[in-house]
């Protein structure tokens, strides 16, 4: 089975998150990888939410594995109608469907590459495949794995998120925070008897729109970004709202920590607004001079570059001791979360070939 065939099979499995339902995908991939000779482990970070780790050991216990990782969940279809089958269609050289680019094409390429390496026998070093649940809701599966002690040793990490088939060296960090205000409810005709929670939150949101996070531009990642993604408050037009909340998305670069962001958000929002984080993950950056990259670029030449989104590497790379990490997948970043999402059929199979060559060289086969 080609990587494209497997990708189509994966896209046909509905793993929309929420609720997730990664189990059918884990069942399929675990059976394949076990048949290929890899040792398979399932780890649930929540009931019915399995993460899959598959290992191909090397002959030399002192050599760390190459980790190849991807996630199995997808975002919902969205409200707009699809003109293509949302759960898998091949047409015009493309695989259409939710998750085709983000990132079942990449997962399929990882699995097929690992099967091909396993067929060559046991090398000096090994492989560790980490296929996660719940990435789309804040890397929940990867964060659980990182703190659980079940990961092995990895000397390098490949994340098969969509990059158009080119290896990139960095992604931004992230801080998600909730800004909330409390008020006193009253009848809408007598607002002087209450305290409106929306007004101080609205003033804070306006202040955040002009906030300068004051950090130097990073050569690969550029500037940090801030976006207020949601705002809600009140329960009826004829009531003074006693609570309001906004959610804030800050993408960070080296030199700007989550703690620094929180300090600046709180200073800008003012004392009436409580701001609490619920995800805080640092950027992932690999030095362009890292020796392993010579192998990467020999297989797939590219200029040093970065993506603006964050990946499971934000949790996994630190847990492995910060080995060099590349983001390198066959999907198209601008297709992620889109209606009629697609990935190039040619790039999916090309990625499997590239990953096989990278893994073969790592293992010394």
List, for residues 189-232, the tens digit of each pLDDT value.
999 999 999 999 999 999 999 999 989 999 999 999 999 999 99
> Which residues have C-beta within 8 Å of that of residue 289, sequence separation ≥ 6?
none
pLDDT of residue 192: 97
Q: How far is CA 314 from the centre of its chain?
A: 8
pLDDT of residue 66: 98
Do the bridges between strand 325-327 and strand 274-281 make them parallel or antiparallel, or are there none, so unpaired?
unpaired
14: number of CA atoms within 13 Å, CB side? 7
Instruction: Annotate 118-152 with DSSP letters as a single string.
Output: HHT---SS-EEEEEES-GGGTSHHHHHHHHHT---
Complete domains list, the chain, with CATH = 3-171+283-363 (3.40.630.10), 173-281 (3.30.70.360)
Radius of gyration for the alpha carbons in the chain, expressed in angstroms and rounded: 22
**Percent share of the chain, pLDDT over 90:** 99
- Length of the chain (residues): 365
Q: What residues act catalytically? A: 73, 135
Whether the Cβ atoms of residue 161 and residue 306 lie closer than 8 Å to each other = no
Whether the Cβ atoms of residue 16 and residue 74 lie closer than 8 Å to each other = yes
pLDDT of residue 238: 97
Stretches where the chain sits below pLDDT 50 are none
Q: How far is CA 117 from the centre of its chain?
A: 26
Max Cα separation, the chain? 78
b/e code 270-309 from CB counts within 10 Å (16+ = b): eeebebebebbbbbbbbeeeeebbeebeebbebebebbee
pLDDT of residue 214: 87
Give the number of other Cβ atoms within 10 Å of residue 92's Cβ. Answer: 8
pLDDT of residue 32: 98
Q: How far is CA 235 from the centre of its chain?
A: 34
């Amino acid at each position: 089975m080609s990587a494209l065939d497997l990708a189509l099979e994966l896209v046909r499995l509905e793993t929309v998150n929420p609720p997730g339902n990664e189990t059918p995908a884990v069942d399929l991939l675990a059976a394949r990888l076990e048949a290929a000779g890899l040792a398979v482990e399932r780890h649930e970070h929540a009931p019915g939410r399995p993460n899959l780790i598959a290992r191909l050991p090397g002959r030399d216990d002192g050599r760390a594995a190459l980790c190849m990782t991807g996630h199995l969940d997808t975002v919902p279809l969205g409200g707009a109608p699809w003109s293509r089958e949302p759960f898998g269609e091949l047409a015009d050289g493309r695989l259409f469907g939710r998750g085709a680019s983000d990132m079942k094409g990449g997962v399929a390429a990882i699995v097929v590459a690992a099967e091909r390496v396993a067929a060559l026998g046991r090398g000096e070093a090994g492989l560790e495949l980490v296929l996660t649940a719940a990435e789309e809701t804040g890397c929940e599966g990867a964060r659980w794995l990182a703190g659980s002690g079940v990961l092995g040793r990895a000397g390098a990490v490949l994340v098969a998120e969509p990059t158009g088939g080119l290896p990139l060296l960095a992604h931004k960090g992230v801080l998600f925070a909730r800004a909330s205000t409390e008020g006193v409810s009253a009848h809408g005709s007598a607002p002087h008897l209450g305290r409106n929670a929306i007004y101080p939150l609205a003033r804070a949101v306006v202040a955040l729109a002009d906030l300068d996070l004051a950090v130097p531009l990073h050569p690969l990642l550029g500037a940090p970004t801030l976006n207020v993604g949601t705002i809600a408050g009140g329960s009826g037009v004829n009531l003074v709202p006693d609570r309001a909340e906004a959610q804030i998305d800050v993408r960070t670069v080296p030199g700007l920590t989550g703690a620094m962001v929180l300090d600046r958000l709180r200073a800008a929002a003012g004392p009436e607004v409580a701001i609490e984080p619920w995800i805080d993950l640092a950027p992932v950056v690999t030095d362009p001079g890292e020796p392993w990259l010579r192998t990467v670029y020999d297989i797939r030449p590219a200029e040093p570059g970065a993506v603006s989104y964050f990946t499971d590497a934000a949790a996994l790379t630190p847990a492995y001791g910060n080995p060099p990490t590349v983001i390198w997948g066959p999907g198209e970043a601008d297709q992620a979360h889109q209606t009629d999402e697609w990935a190039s059929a040619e790039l999916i199979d090309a990625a499997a070939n590239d990953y096989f060559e990278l893994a073969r060289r790592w293992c010394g086969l």
